[in-house]
Amino acid sequence: MSHRPIYLDNHATTPVDERVLAAMLPYFTEHFGNPSSINHVYGWETEAAVKKSREILAQAINTTPEEIVFTSGATEANNLAIKGVAEAYFQKGQHIITVATEHNAVLDPCKYLQTLGFEITILPVQKDGLIDLNLLEKAFRSDTILVSIMAANNEIGVLQPLAKIGEMCRERGVIFHSDAAQAIGKIPLDVQAMQIDLMSFTAHKVYGPKGIGALYVRRRNPRVQLAPQQHGGGHERGMRSGTLYTPQIVGFAKAVEIALQAQATENQYLTQLRQRLWELLSQLEGMYLNGHPTQRLAGNLNISIEGVDGAALLLGLQPVMAVSSGSACSSATTAPSHVLTALGHTEKLAYASLRFGIGRFNTAEEIEQVAQHTISTIQSLRKQKTLV
C-alpha cells in the first residue's frame, strides 16, 4: 500500500468518525423506512431516529427540536436563510448586511438578490479578520431586514463576536443569520444567549457524513418567517420539502454529540498542535499569521509566505501533506482568496498562503514532520528564486 500524505485539510472536510459510521449503518439496511410513513413499523423506527437526532442537534445550540430544519448541507441552509428572508420580508425592506470574508455560499446568494433589486452592504474587516462593530452600527438602515455574519471563518478560523452582533440586531428588530458550518461542535453555541435567529450548519466539518446539514429557524421572540426555496410535500414545517435522509441525519447527530462531549479536551489538544506548528514555521523570515492570533478555531493555522510562488509551494508539499491555500469550494478558481485580500494582502502574498486544518486524528509526530517539510520546501524555493 502506497504512503498517503498527512491530511491537514480538515476545514475542507473531515473523515467520518468510526463511531458515526457505526451509528449510521443500520439505517441503510435494517431500518430503511421513510420517516414520513406513519402507518407501519418501518416508518415509526426511522421517525423515532430522526426525532432523537433533532433533539440532539437542538440541545447543541440551546433551542427546541421543532426549530431544526434539515437540508443537504450548509450551502443549502445559507440559501434558504438568505433568500427565504428576502422573499418573506421584501415589503418591510430590501437591505441586507454581510461581510467581505463570508463564504461564497453567503456572498453569492446576496449577489443574486442584488439582481432582483435588493441592496447589499458588504462590510470590510480589520487586519485581524474581525469586523468593526462601529461600522456595523453605522450600516443599519430603517429598511435593513437581515444581517448575515459567520461564526467561524473557513479560511482563517477567526471567531466573530456573535453575542454583540445579536444584541445589535435585536435592538433594531433585524433578523440575524450566522453560518456556523465551521463552528458547530467546536465552540460553544447558544442561539438564545447570542440572540441568533437563523443558523446554518453541516455534518462533514465535524467528522460526520457529507450531504446533510441543517438550518435553525427561530419560532418565537421573534418568530422568523421563511419563504421555502424547495417545494413538494411540505416536509420540515413546509420550509424544505424532500424525503429525510435518515442515515445521514443519524450520523450528523452522532458526530455533533461526540464533538460536544470532547470539545474542551479536543480544543486544548488542537491548540497545542497549532501553536507548535506556528512556533516552528515562524522561525523563518517573511512568515505572516492570517487572522486573530487567539480568537480563532483551535485547529486553524493560516499563513502567508514571502518569496515563494504559491503554486510551486503546494506542489512541493503534496508528497508529504494534504493542505490547501484557501476554501475548498473556490479552489478551482484562479483568483486569490477573497478572504486574504480582505485582510489587506497583495495578490502575490495571498497566492502564497497555506491553510493548515488540524483535526482530531492528527498527531504531534505528524506536526513535526509537516513543519520540517514545509520549512525545507520554502527554503528550497527561495534558494531557487522562484518568485512570483
Which residues are catalytic, by number? 329
The identity of residue 298, as a single letter, is: A
- Rounded CA separation 348/58 (Å): 44
Burial class (CB in 10 A: 0-12, 13-18, 19+), 89: buried
Query: What cell numbers appear for 184 in the block?
Result: 458547530
* DSSP state string for 76-131: HHHHHHHHHHHHHHTTT--EEEEETTS-HHHHHHHHHHHHTT-EEEEE-B-TTS-B
Q: Which helix (H) or strand (E) holds 7?
A: strand 6-7
Query: What cell numbers appear for 284 in the block?
Result: 523563518
Q: Which residues does 386 contact at the CB level (< 8 Å), separation at least 6? A: 308, 309, 312
Q: Which helix (H) or strand (E) holds 201?
A: strand 198-202
Query: What cell numbers appear for 342 in the block?
Result: 480582505
- Rounded CA separation 106/154 (Å): 12
- Rounded CA separation 27/22 (Å): 10
296 DSSP β-pair partners: 158
Q: Compute the chain's Rg from CA coordinates.
A: 21
Query: What cell numbers appear for 64 in the block?
Result: 427546541
Q: Which residues does 344 contact at the CB level (< 8 Å), separation at least 6? A: 127
- Rounded CA separation 149/130 (Å): 11
Q: Which residue is it, cell 486569490?
A: 336
